[in-house]
Amino acid sequence: MRITRAVMKKIIPWLFLTPVIIFIILSWVAPVALTLYLGFTDLSIKNFLAFIRDFFTPEVHITLENFEKIFFGGDPYLPEVLKITIIYVVSVLAINAFYSLILSISIAYFLKHDYLSLFLRVSWLLPRITPGVIYALMWNWFIDPRYGMLNTLLSLAGIPKEMLPQSWLLDKPYSQILMIMVNGYIGASFGMIVYTAAIKSIPPDLINAALVDGANEFQVARHIIIPLLKWPIFFVVAWQTLSLLASYEQILLIWGAGGGGGYAGIARAAGVMVWALYSYSKAFSEYQYGYASAISVVLVVVGIALILIYFKLFGFSRLMAPSKVEV
Amino acid sequence: MVKVVLKEVSKYFGKVRAVDNLNLEIKDGEFVALLGPSGCGKTTTLLMIAGIYKPTKGRIYFDNEDITDLPPKDRNIGMVFQSYALYPHMTVYNNIAFPLKLKKTPKHVIHEKVVKVARLLRIDNLLDRKPSQLSGGQQQRVALARALVKEPDVLLLDEPLSNLDAKLRIYMRAELKRLQKELKVTTIYVTHDQVEAMSMADRIAVMNQGKLQQYAEPNILYDKPANIFVAGFIGNPPMNFIEGSIMEVNGEYYFDSGVFKLKIHRSLGEMISSKTEEAILGFRPEHIKLVTTKAPNAIKGIVYVVEPLGRDMVVNIKVNDTIIKALASPEIQLTPGQQIYIILDERKIHFFNKSTGEAIV
Ligand SMILES: Nc1ncnc2c1ncn2[C@@H]1O[C@H](COP(=O)(O)OP(=O)(O)OP(=O)(O)O)[C@@H](O)[C@H]1O
Ligand SMILES: [Mg+2]
C-alpha cells in the first residue's frame, strides 16, 4: 500500500502527539474517572484490602451517602474548610495576581535601573526554583519562635512582644497569615514573569507619548500600562485560581512536619485546612477513601466550571496567548 | 509660544553619538524643519526637547528659562511620534481627549475641543473607532489632533505626513502650515522629504550623523550650501560633483578635472587657490545649458540615458567616466551616443574644499 503525502501529513502530528495523549490519559483522565467512581462508593479502611484484591468486590457498595454528607450538612467541619479555602484562594490570588502586578510595574517601569530591576526579578524567582521541601523547611526555621528570624525582625521593627504569636504554626490567625505568605511568595513569581515580559513589550513610544501628553509616572501606570496588561492579568487570574484551588503541598509540607496527632490534626487546629488538603487528609490519615474522593470530585467540578466560565468570558484563543499586549 | 534654544546639546547612547554638540535657536512662532538622512539624530533631538531623553551634555532653554531638567509634563509640548503612538486601548475620541483629561479640563470643554480639532483634520467621523481600525494616514491625523488639542507652546512633529497619499499630503501640508501660522505655535518638523521641508519651513536645519550641517532659510540652503553634504542633499536630481584642481596659466585660472579644463574668473580662481589646491566643482542639473555645437568653455560629453519626467527630462551625460545629470526641456532632440556640450553659468557654480568638504564659494 502506498501512503500518500497527504495521508502522511495527517498522520505525523498524531504520531508525535500520541505519547503526550497517553500521558494525559494516564495522569489526568484516568485518575479523575477513578476519583469520580470512588466518590460514589463507601470505600474505606474496612473494605480496602478486598478492593485492592478485586476491583469489583461486593464489599464495596455504590452509594450517594458521600455527596449527601457534603451537601446536606453531614460533615460539620466542612463549612469551616470552605471558609478557609475561600480565604486562602482569594488572599493568595490577591498577592499572586494583583500585588505581583504592582511589584512588576515598580520593577519593570518605575525602577529605571536595569541591573537592579533584573536582580529584584531574579530574587522573586528564588522560591520557585528552590525545591519545595527546602522552601518549606526554610519557612519552618524562619518562623521558629525561639530561634527563627521572623519574630526577631518584627520586634526590631517595633512590634510589641505581646502582639507576636507564641507559635506561628498554631496560633490563629497568624497561622493563616503564614499560609498566605508562604504561598503568595511562591505564586507571585508566576505573575511577575508574565507581567514584566508584557510591560517590557509595550512600545516605549506609547509611554513617551503619555508623558508628553502631561501624565506623571503614576498616571502612565494607571492609564497606559495597566489597561494594556488586561489580557495578561486575566490570564494570571484564571490560571492562579485554578492552581490555588487544587494546591495544598506547601501547607502539607509545613504543617505536616509537626509530630503528635499528625498533619491533619495540626492543620485543623491551625485553621489552615483547605479543601484539597481536607480531601487528602480524609484519604490518607482517616482512610475514608470514598468520602475523600467525593470531596475531590466537587473540587474538579468547580475547577471545570471555572475554566468554562473563563473561556466564555475572555475567549479561549486570547487566554492561550499569555504575554499578549494589546497594541 | 516660546523661543526654543539648544546650547551645545549632545546625546550619546553608549558609543553612538546620536546628537553631537547641537546649537539651535528656534524663534517664537517659527516653523523649523529638521532635515537629514535616516539615523542622523532627528528623533533624538525632538525627544530631548520633549524631555523624554536627558541630554548627555548641554542645556535646553524655553524663553531663556533652562528647562533641561523639567519633566515632559511641565513643558506643554504637543508631539506627533514617528510611530504615531496612539493608545491602542482608547477610542479615537479618548486618544485626543487624553491630554485634556490629564489637565482636568471640564467634560463639555473637552468635547468641544475634540470635535473641533477632529473636524479640522477630517477625522470627525472616526471618533468611535479604535486605532487598530484606522489606516496609517488616519492614525497620523489622530496623532496630530492629539498634539494640537492641548494648544501647546511647542509643537514637535516627527514625520507627521509620511504615510499620507500624495493628494492628502499636499492638502495637509498647506493645512498644517496655515494652522501653524494661525496658532503661532513654535514648530519643529522632522522630515526626510526635502520638498516638504523647502515648501513649509521658515528655516531648515540640515543634520548628518548627529551634527548640524547648516541652519538657514530654504533658498539659502539651495543657493549657498555650506558644505558638500548639504549641497548634495538639497535638490533633486542632486548636484553634480567633479573633483579637480585649480591651475593658473598666464594669469588665467582654470579648473582642471583631468579630462576637461574649465576657465574660471580670476578673482574666483585666486580665492580658491588661496584656500586649497584640490577642489570639488559642484553644479546643479537645472543650471546646465546643453548645446549640440562646440562652444567656448564648454564641456564635451556623450548623451548616455534620457529620462523623461513629463515637464522636463533628465539627461545623463557621460564625461569620460563620470555621469553628469542635466535637466533639460524636452524640446531638444537627443539620442544616446550623441555628442553634446555642457555650458555652465559661472554665477551658479560651487566650489568645495576637497579635504574638509566646506564650501569655498
Ligand atoms: N534608545 C536608543 N539606544 C541606542 N541608540 C539609539 C537609541 N535611539 C536612537 N539611537 C541611535 O541614535 C542615532 C540617531 O537616531 P534617531 O532615531 O534620532 O534618528 P532619526 O534621524 O530620527 O532617523 P529616522 O529618520 O530613521 O527616524 C541612530 O544611530 C540610532 O541607532
Ligand atoms: Mg526618527
- Give B49-66 pLDDT, tens digit per residue: 999 999 999 999 999 899
**From the CA of B14, how far away is ligand 1's center (Å)?**
12
Q: If you average pLDDT over residues A90-117, what whole number do you get?
A: 88
Give B33 or B162, the one with higher predicted confidence.
B33
Ligand 1 pocket residues where CB is under 6 Å: B 13, 16, 18, 36, 38-44, 82, 192
Whether chain A has a CB inside 8 Å of the CB on B210: the answer is no
- Give B13-47 pLDDT, tens digit per residue: 999 999 999 999 999 999 999 999 999 999 999 99
Distance from CA of B18 to the nearest CA of A (A): 18
The pLDDT of residue B190 is 95
Residues on chain A touching B88 (C-beta within 8 angstroms): 206, 228, 326-327
Residues on chain B touching A223 (C-beta within 8 angstroms): 87, 98
Residues on chain B touching A208 (C-beta within 8 angstroms): 47, 50, 52, 72, 81, 85
Residue B343 — very low, low, confident or very high, per pLDDT cuts 50/70/90? very high
The pLDDT of residue A260 is 41
pLDDT at B98 over 70: yes
The pLDDT of residue A224 is 94
Interchain pair B73, A227: CB under 8 A: no
The pLDDT of residue B88 is 93
Closest residue in A to B80 (Cα) is A209
R_g over Cα of chain A: 24
Interchain pair A212, B52: CB under 8 A: yes
Residues on chain B touching A203 (C-beta within 8 angstroms): 83, 85
Residue A163 CB neighbours (<10 A): 9
Burial category of A251 from C-beta neighbours within 10 Å (exposed 0-12, middle 13-18, buried 19 and up): buried
Residue A271 — very low, low, confident or very high, per pLDDT cuts 50/70/90? confident
Distance from CA of B13 to the nearest CA of A (A): 15
> Helix or strand or coil: residue B26?
strand
Write the DSSP assignment of B251-279 as a string of letters.
Answer: TEEEEE-SS-EEEE-HHHHHHHHHH-SEE
The pLDDT of residue A2 is 67
The pLDDT of residue A261 is 44
Closest residue in B to A325 (Cα) is B88
pLDDT at B342 over 80: yes
Q: If you average pLDDT over residues B96-104, what whole number do you get?
A: 95
Mean pLDDT of chain B: 91
The pLDDT of residue A262 is 54
Residue A102 — very low, low, confident or very high, per pLDDT cuts 50/70/90? very high
Backbone angles phi, psi at B342, to 5 degrees: -105, 125
Distance from CA of A308 to the nearest CA of B (A): 26
Indicate the pTM of the whole model.
Answer: 0.82
pLDDT at A163 over 80: no
Closest ligand 1 atom to the C-alpha of B37?
25
Residues on chain A touching B99 (C-beta within 8 angstroms): 213-214
The pLDDT of residue A322 is 47
- Is residue B336 within 8 Å of residue B294, measured between CB atoms? no
Interchain pair B51, A211: CB under 8 A: yes
Decide the pairing of beta strands B322-328 and B261-264.
unpaired
Residue A317 — very low, low, confident or very high, per pLDDT cuts 50/70/90? low
User: What b/e sequence results for B11-38 when a residue is b if at least 16 CB atoms lie within 10 Å of its CB, and e otherwise?
Assistant: beeeeebbbbebebebeebbbbbbbbee
pLDDT at B322 over 70: yes
| Class of the domain covering A78-280 | mainly alpha
What is the distance between the alpha carbons of residues B72 and B52, in angstroms, rounded to a whole number?
A: 6
Mutate which of A211, A212, A220 to test chain B, going by most B C-beta atoms within 10 A? A212
Closest ligand 1 atom to the C-alpha of B14?
4
What is the distance between the alpha carbons of residues B12 and B209, in angstroms, rounded to a whole number?
A: 12
Half-sphere exposure (Cβ direction) of B88: Cα atoms closer than 13 Å: 16
Least confident of A236-240, B39-43, B103-107, B211-215: A236-240
Interchain pair A212, B78: CB under 8 A: yes
- CATH no., domain B240-353: 2.40.50.140
Q: If you average pLDDT over residues A94-116, what whole number do you get?
A: 87
Closest residue in B to A206 (Cα) is B85
Half-sphere exposure (Cβ direction) of A191: Cα atoms closer than 13 Å: 33
The pLDDT of residue A259 is 43
The pLDDT of residue A323 is 45
The pLDDT of residue B48 is 96
The pLDDT of residue A9 is 85
The pLDDT of residue A316 is 64
- Is residue B285 within 8 Å of residue B240, measured between CB atoms? yes
Closest residue in A to B152 (Cα) is A213
**Helix ranges, B33-165 (H):** 42-50, 92-102, 107-120, 136-149
Q: Would you kindly state where each structural domain of chain B is located, as residue ranges? A: 4-233, 240-353
- CATH no., domain B4-233: 3.40.50.300
Cα–Cα nearest to B40, from B20, B14, B13: B20
Ligand nearest to the CA of B18: 1
Q: If you average pLDDT over residues B208-233, what whole number do you get?
A: 94
Whether chain A has a CB inside 8 Å of the CB on B52: the answer is yes
pLDDT at A103 over 50: yes
Closest residue in B to A205 (Cα) is B85
- Give A42-93 pLDDT, tens digit per residue: 988 888 888 888 888 888 888 888 898 889 888 888 999 999 999 999 999 9
End-to-end CA distance of chain A: 51
Residues on chain A touching B102 (C-beta within 8 angstroms): 213-215, 219
Least confident of A15-19, A21-25, A42-46, A54-58: A54-58
Contacts 24+ apart (CB under 8 A), B209-218: B209/B17, B209/B20, B209/B40, B209/B41, B210/B10, B210/B17, B210/B18, B210/B19, B210/B20, B210/B22, B210/B40, B210/B41, B211/B20, B211/B21, B211/B22, B212/B22, B212/B23, B212/B24, B213/B36, B215/B24
- Is residue A263 within 8 Å of residue A252, measured between CB atoms? yes
> Which residue owns the Cα nearest ligand 1 atom 7?
B13
pLDDT at B225 over 50: yes
Whether chain A has a CB inside 8 Å of the CB on B113: the answer is no
pLDDT at A258 over 50: no
Contacts 24+ apart (CB under 8 A), B60-68: B60/B4, B60/B5, B60/B6, B60/B7, B60/B9, B61/B3, B61/B4, B61/B5, B61/B6, B61/B7, B62/B2, B62/B3, B62/B4, B62/B5, B62/B153, B62/B154, B63/B2, B63/B3, B63/B28, B64/B3, B64/B5
